[in-house]
């Protein structure tokens, strides 16, 4: 049985849980990793030397890096709707996935960690939080403009891995206590995502 290791309060773990649920594979979720089970332990570091969740353990071996795991799950289950197998269509999904992991996650760091996690490095650094919020809002407006062009999902009418990673980032943005610009296209997009059975089963709507 496939194993997904990591606390579901992690956005990166939820990417994997959601993708696994979308593909319909059978898996067990070991939520206690990075909670009661230490990811700095030798046992965990043998799975991921970075000591970070998520980790996937399956018949082919062990994987870390959330977006990579999502791509593996889609490819393994031959779900070319989630991750196309033609180069340009696939690159368009991966473009948004890379943007989420690099640009969006980087931009939100000080605001999210400071305001939500109350991380001691950021929580009293109002300049860093303000800069982070400004950049984060600017990037989310890029997504707002894209969604306002039409289409139910990021790549049009087909739900893809881009929607998994961006849907979770959108939830984080909406649930972080910052001032946000109006984003009606993103609000409608979020309602479409929330109506998916896999979200109802695996992604609580109140976790940033
Ligand atoms: N690039 C990695 C980042 C993984 C990561 O930062 N995981 C965080 C949770 S979101 C973590 O394990 N933090 C340590 C901890 O919770 O103890 C990925 O996408 O999988």
Describe the strand order of the beta sheet including 61-64 as a list of residue ranges.
27-30, 2-5, 55-58, 61-64
User: Hey, what CATH topology would domain 87-202 get?
Assistant: Glutathione S-transferase Yfyf (Class Pi); Chain A, domain 2 (1.20.1050)
Helix, strand, coil share (%) of the chain residues, nearest 5: 55, 10, 35
Position of tokens 């795991």?
69
Distance 6 CA to ligand 1 centre (A): 9
- Residue 63 has a pLDDT of 98
Cα 9 to its chain centre, rounded Å, is 11
Position of tokens 């989310």?
140
- Residue 132 has a pLDDT of 98
- Is the CB of 168 within 6 Å of ligand 1? no
Q: What is the pTM of this model?
A: 0.97
Tens of pLDDT along 121-160?
999 999 999 999 999 999 999 999 999 999 999 999 999 9
- Is the CB of 12 within 6 Å of ligand 1? yes
Superfamily grouping for domain 2-76? Glutaredoxin (3.40.30.10)
Taking CA atoms only, the protein residue closest to ligand 1 atom 5 is: 52
Percent of the chain past pLDDT 70, that is, above it, reads 100
Identify the segments of the chain with pLDDT beneath 70: none
Residue 35, preceding peptide bond in cis (omega within 30° of 0): no
Q: Which of 21, 22, 24, 43 is nearest to 32 (CA)?
A: 43
- Is the CB of 53 within 6 Å of ligand 1? yes
Per-domain residue ranges of the chain: 2-76, 87-202
Distance 11 CA to ligand 1 centre (A): 8
- Is the CB of 34 within 6 Å of ligand 1? yes
- Residue 194 has a pLDDT of 97
- Residue 16 has a pLDDT of 98
Q: Which residues contact 90 (CB under 8 A, 6 or more apart)?
A: 83, 84
Count CB-CB contacts under 10 A for residue 32. Answer: 12
- Residue 68 has a pLDDT of 98
Please state, in angstroms and rounded to a whole number, the distance separating the CA atoms of residues 77 and 102: 26
- Residue 88 has a pLDDT of 98
């Amino acid at each position: 049985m496939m194993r997904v290791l990591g606390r579901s309060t992690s956005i990166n773990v939820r990417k994997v849980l959601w993708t696994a649920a979308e593909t319909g594979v059978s898996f067990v979720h070991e939520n206690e990793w990075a909670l009661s089970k230490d990811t700095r332990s030798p046992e965990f570091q043998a799975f991921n030397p970075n000591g970070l969740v998520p980790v996937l353990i399956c018949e082919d071996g062990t994987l870390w890096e959330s977006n990579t795991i999502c791509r593996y799950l889609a490819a393994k289950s031959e779900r070319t709707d989630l991750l196309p197998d033609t180069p340009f269509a696939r690159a368009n999904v991966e473009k948004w996935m890379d943007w989420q992991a690099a640009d969006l996650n980087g931009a939100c760091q000080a605001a999210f960690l400071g305001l939500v996690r109350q991380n001691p490095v950021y929580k009293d650094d109002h300049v860093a939080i303000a800069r982070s919020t400004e950049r984060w809002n600017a990037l989310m407006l890029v997504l707002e403009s894209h969604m306002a062009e039409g289409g139910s999902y990021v790549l049009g009418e087909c739900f893809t891995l881009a929607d998994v990673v961006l849907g979770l980032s959108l939830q984080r943005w909406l649930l972080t206590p910052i001032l946000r610009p109006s984003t009606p296209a993103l609000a409608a997009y979020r309602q479409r995502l929330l109506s998916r059975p896999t979200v109802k089963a695996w992604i609580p709507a109140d976790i940033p």
